[in-house]
Amino acid sequence: MRRSFFELQACGYQIPLGLKTSIMGILNCTHDSFSGDGFLSGPKGQMDKDQVLRYARKMVKDGADILDVGGESTRPGSSGISAKEEIRRVVPVVDLLVRHIKVPVSVDTSKIEVAQAALDKGASIVNNIMGTQTSIKFLKMVCSYDAALVMMHMRGTPATMQSKTRYKNVIQDVIDELKISVEKCLRVGIKKERIIIDPGIGFAKNVGQNLMLIHHLNKLSLLRCPVLLGVSRKSFIGQVLDKGPSGRLMGTAAAVTVGIMQGAHIVRVHDVRTIKETVRMTDAILKNNT
């Protein structure tokens, strides 16, 4: 399909989307990430900032266009942490990256206190998994910073979401709920060029629903916003391939490829170097047929 073009505005950044696929590299400041790649040594542990910075620099060298920093696991069944603890984990890393790395930094959080603290340190994108349930107060805060905002589709919370997978039509229901979210953003003054939508693969969806959403991702173009696709190492890939998180790279690459062919503008991934090759090849095929 022909992908739509956008110029995302995120604080001081203007990010062209659509000519090529952008890569959002995942940086987990956790000890309990489902993918086993967290930098925290334990629930109340410390991080080696030099190690984090080396890892971030490598991701950028390997092809990451955006770095996404998160401090709370949102795997199915997770119970969450306090805003104070999440700030302790995330904000020093955001500050480090903003000062030393010249790509936009995103903060992956649904807590207003964490998002604001990260924006104060120079984050330019808020990646909110609770997008379709976000409060007006949260949206107004993001608007006041001129930051970009990822509005992801989810029902319930990470602890309850997998009990909320009943849809009349998963594709249309996701579109309808994201449409309400986008309209809410616009009403509080967030400009359209600052909004990204995410179908929420793995969040309140079963395996079949995840596969169907990726296959029909192009239908989200009705909302006229850039689309972020997060499939990296997720459990639906493991269930299809019977693989643990460390064995899901090829499944991730396949899902990324189909997602790009169906209009994804940004892919959020752990394995930046390998997925960069997948992205370049898929973009080349698309470019040669438009």
What amino acid positions are annotated as catalytic residues? 234, 268
Helix (H, G, I), strand (E, B) or coil at 45: coil
Dist. CA 128–CA 197, nearest whole Å: 10
Q: End-to-end CA distance of the chain: give it in Å, rounded.
A: 8
Query: In the beta sheet, which residues pair with residue 149?
Result: 126, 195
Tell me the two tokens of residue 242.
């019977």
- CB hemisphere CA count around 61 (13 angstroms): 6
Helix (H, G, I), strand (E, B) or coil at 201: coil
Dist. CA 223–CA 227, nearest whole Å: 10
Dist. CA 65–CA 62, nearest whole Å: 10
Query: Tokens 């399909």 map to which residue?
Result: 1
**Could you write out the DSSP letters of every residue in 9-30?**
EETTEEEEESSS-EEEEEEE--
**Environment class of residue 289 by beta-carbon count within 10 Å: exposed (0-12), middle (13-18) or buried (19+)?**
exposed
